[in-house]
Amino acid sequence: MKEVGPGSVPEVSRKRSAEPGPPLKLGPERKRACWGILTSQGSWADRSPLHEAASQGRLLALHTLLTQGYQANIVTMDQVTPLHEACLSGHAACVRALIRAGANVNAATIDGVTPLFNCCAAGSAACLELLLQSGAHTHTAHTHFPSALHEACKRGNSQCVQSLLSHGADPDSELPHLGSALYVSCLHGHASCSQVLLRTGARVNVGRGDDSPLHAAVRQDSAEQAAALLQYGADVNLRDGAARRPLEVAPPGGRAQQLLQAFEASPRSLCQLCRLHIRTVIGRSRLKLLPQLPLPPLLTRYLEHR
């Protein structure tokens, strides 16, 4: 670490740690970590005033700096742009101003972190929509890069998940080290994100390796998530890497175990089997067209699991 003079703030490493940090908290003294960026109220030799203004949401200062000739796409040594900072802080007005000034909405840091990813880390649906409307890509360029959809599912930001999916994100997107987005959602206990993915047609039995989303849900004793997965056709007979079925990994006496025991004691209803089959025949890409079909509202809601 480089030496600093009296009264200055020591440089903080922005390298990616092994695991993403805890949920972000906004505040004047915040220090927030995510995959590629560690942002605080300090400053570094390669960090411009435009980065500071964007991070702190100082819109007037940002406009002034842009007028004075600062480039919207100025980067640090780690390829962090002011737009990354504004998105991580959830400052929609600054995001809008930077985009109008020509900021690259698909800029990536040396770790592959995009402004879109930072929006999902911060849970800022407003910033996310601005990026998506300006052409931000919903997919990752490489499988080892951070995924905005996976991050939204990990953080439980269902609005961000919905926005990404409505702009073309693949609900079945998988990363080798994380598995499917649905698996990540179940692993972290975010039922609202799981519901959004399932309604969009995410494959219910695809997890991480042999570990299914149902395995992940019942390990957390999340009966709500397990019930949703079963409604969408989760297979109770799948086995994880240790050859265990979901019932065998559920905490003894827990609600998830009771749910699975009751489910296995009685077969799926004909009503549910018909719905699953019809949705399969329709195909995931056409599920969004269900409301446009000339069907009674009751039947449309039935097919949409509502």
Considering the domain boundaries, does residue 132 fall inside one? Answer: yes
3-state secondary structure of 44: coil
Question: 160 with 126, same domain?
Answer: no
Question: 152 with 259, same domain?
Answer: yes
- Quick check: 19 pLDDT over 70? no
Question: 192 with 277, same domain?
Answer: no
Q: Residue 275 CB: number of other CB atoms within 10 A?
A: 19
Question: 225 with 162, same domain?
Answer: yes
Using CA atoms, how far apart are residues 10 and 4, in angstroms rounded to an integer?
6
Considering the domain boundaries, does residue 23 fall inside one? Answer: no
Considering the domain boundaries, does residue 24 fall inside one? Answer: no
- Model confidence at 302, in pLDDT bands (50, 70, 90)? confident
End position of a domain, from candidates 90, 114, 137? 137
Q: Which two tokens stand for residue 18?
A: 């092994």
Question: 166 with 207, same domain?
Answer: yes
Question: 198 with 289, same domain?
Answer: no
CA distances, 193 to each of 13, 72, 155, 163, 212 (Å): 32, 33, 9, 12, 16
Least confident of 51-55, 166-170, 185-189, 276-280: 276-280
Q: Which two tokens stand for residue 219?
A: 């390990």
Question: 250 with 190, same domain?
Answer: yes
The tally of domains found in the chain comes to: 3
- Residue 289: give its domain's CATH number: 1.10.750
Question: 177 with 251, same domain?
Answer: yes
Report pLDDT for 20.
41
Considering the domain boundaries, does residue 19 fall inside one? Answer: no
Question: 237 with 280, same domain?
Answer: no
**Residues 130/93, Cβ–Cβ less than 8 Å:** no
Q: Which two tokens stand for residue 295?
A: 């069907």
Least confident of 71-80, 213-222, 279-288: 279-288
Q: What's the mean pLDDT when you consider all of the chain?
A: 85
Residue with tokens 């003079």: 5
- Quick check: 27 pLDDT over 80? no
16 Cβ neighbours under 8 A, 6+ residues apart: 35, 36, 111
Note the pTM of the prediction, 2 decimals.
0.81
Question: 170 with 133, same domain?
Answer: no
Question: 273 with 226, same domain?
Answer: no
- Residue 200: give its domain's CATH number: 1.25.40.20
End position of a domain, from candidates 109, 137, 165? 137
Question: 258 with 301, same domain?
Answer: no
- Quick check: 47 pLDDT over 90? no
In whole angstroms, what separates CA 171 from the centre of its chain? Answer: 11
204 Cβ neighbours under 8 A, 6+ residues apart: 182, 198, 213, 214, 229, 232, 233, 234
Domain hosting residue 286, numbered range: 269-306
140-193: per-residue pLDDT in tens? 777 677 899 999 999 999 999 999 999 999 999 999 889 999 999 999 999 999
- Model confidence at 24, in pLDDT bands (50, 70, 90)? very low
End position of a domain, from candidates 80, 110, 137? 137
